[in-house]
Structure 1
């Protein structure tokens, strides 16, 4: 008596790669369409996983290039452009040959994917640091210098000393470690991508909290960026304590 499709599916679900290859051979001639759809589904998943691992391998090229550095730290920021809220930097040191599937530039990921990856990064990373610069500090020293300051703070928060920093596009002044700036590094380095996710999720969560205190600006949705509804709220009710005065002067006049 042949096995049911449900039984065959259970076999596939419990099988590792080698066993799955045996199952393809075992059930390849099964005439039932349900079995053939099941085989096609698992082959498609395997191909997608193979392609994802190839993509990740390409994103590890800088980590391989500088493999002599024991502790490679990725650095990135979130929030240089918004009208409100801090700029946040992330610093992440991943273990050698660490695999975190779907790791990518945080801007290319859905919010739910970023949240899941945030948890996985926090679980697997050797060390994670987060630094921030407030809206007032941004107004005081400008956004670029505030970004550098947040990045320095993020590195200072690491529990281990890095041997090399892989930075998204910038060279951070006033820091004693070897640095490699990489243009669009959050899409080219797993370490920088991890840092971009830590920075983005940290900042988004903070803006969600601000939304509870200052609901009129829609921070839960716009995260402080200059959406039409945000600018309309600014003109209607004025600036809040977390708005960047140097960023909003074109939208409202100071009272």
Structure 2
């Protein structure tokens, strides 16, 4: 099956309709048992004419390719940011609310960089708008299933967020190597689950998820993305 190459067709349609800025938005770490959930955002305007060669949804790239593409994606976007919500926040608020919280933090970072958020349209990967419920002022959000695969701005956000979160998990691995976070990035691999059974959870684990057998079981099926 040929790999789908992201384009700017959706973004260009939004520019044609009067949008000044498009903010591609994607989350990573939603299904992990440990570590934060991260939301990446990449901003472009109508002057951006093409998608960088090799840019893809982060799940379609190997780890070395993602590492190589992240600075390319950051240089290509006018602005980019990653917001995160911690494992303890996921325990307290739930994953959907934490997606919104991490997204709000990314938007705050963009605002501090000078991005006119209210003049923007957010293209959000998926079918559900989890961003607006976290905001005081509603934004124009366009949801699109597989936007991380099809839309250049969202693919860029995906890669930037994935690499940023992966690096945090690799750093955490150095302090607590028994969980294998440098390889599993906090997802529920068999070795990771065995380490939890043997050593108990760490401060980076989502304790509420470990208490629900169905979630832990489902995590075994979750791709390391």
TM superposition score normalised by structure 1 = 0.74
User: Any idea what the Cα deviations from partners look like across 1:37-82, whole Å, max 9, x if unmatched?
Assistant: xxxxxxxxxxxxxx99x944xx211011101312110011100001
Paired positions, count: 199
Residues 94 and 115 of structure 1: is their aligned pair in 2 closer, same or farther, counting only changes over 3 Å?
farther
Contact 2:55–2:73 (CA<8 Å) still a contact in 1?
no
1:64 aligns with 2:19: no
SS at match of 1:166: strand
Over 3 Å off, 4+ runs: none
TM-superposed CA distance for 1:102, in Å, is 1.6
CA distance in 2, matches of 1:90, 1:250: 28
Contact 2:121–2:141 (CA<8 Å) still a contact in 1?
yes
SS at match of 2:73: helix
2:107 maps to 155
Contact 1:133–1:149 (CA<8 Å) still a contact in 2?
yes
SS at match of 1:156: helix
1:232 maps to 194
CA distance in 2, matches of 1:110, 1:139: 30
1:182 aligns with 2:139: no
Contact 2:5–2:56 (CA<8 Å) still a contact in 1?
no
TM-superposed CA distance for 1:112, in Å, is 1.2
SS at match of 2:103: helix
TM-superposed CA distance for 1:117, in Å, is 1.1
Of residues 124, 129, 147, the one that matches 1:167 is: 124
TM-superposed CA distance for 1:129, in Å, is 1.2
1:241 aligns with 2:210: no
1:99 maps to 51
Higher relative contact order (CA 8 A, sep 6+): 2
CA distance in 1, matches of 2:105, 2:54: 27
TM-superposed CA distance for 1:250, in Å, is 4.2
Structure 2 unaligned regions, length at least 5: 217-225
TM superposition score normalised by structure 2 = 0.83
Q: Which of the pair has more CA radius of gyration?
A: 1
1:80 aligns with 2:30: yes
TM-superposed CA distance for 1:239, in Å, is 0.6
CA distance in 1, matches of 2:53, 2:20: 22
SS at match of 1:66: helix
Q: Quote the RMSD (CA, aligned, Å).
A: 1.9
Contact 2:8–2:50 (CA<8 Å) still a contact in 1?
no
In terms of fraction of residues, the more helix-rich structure is: 1
1:193 maps to 155
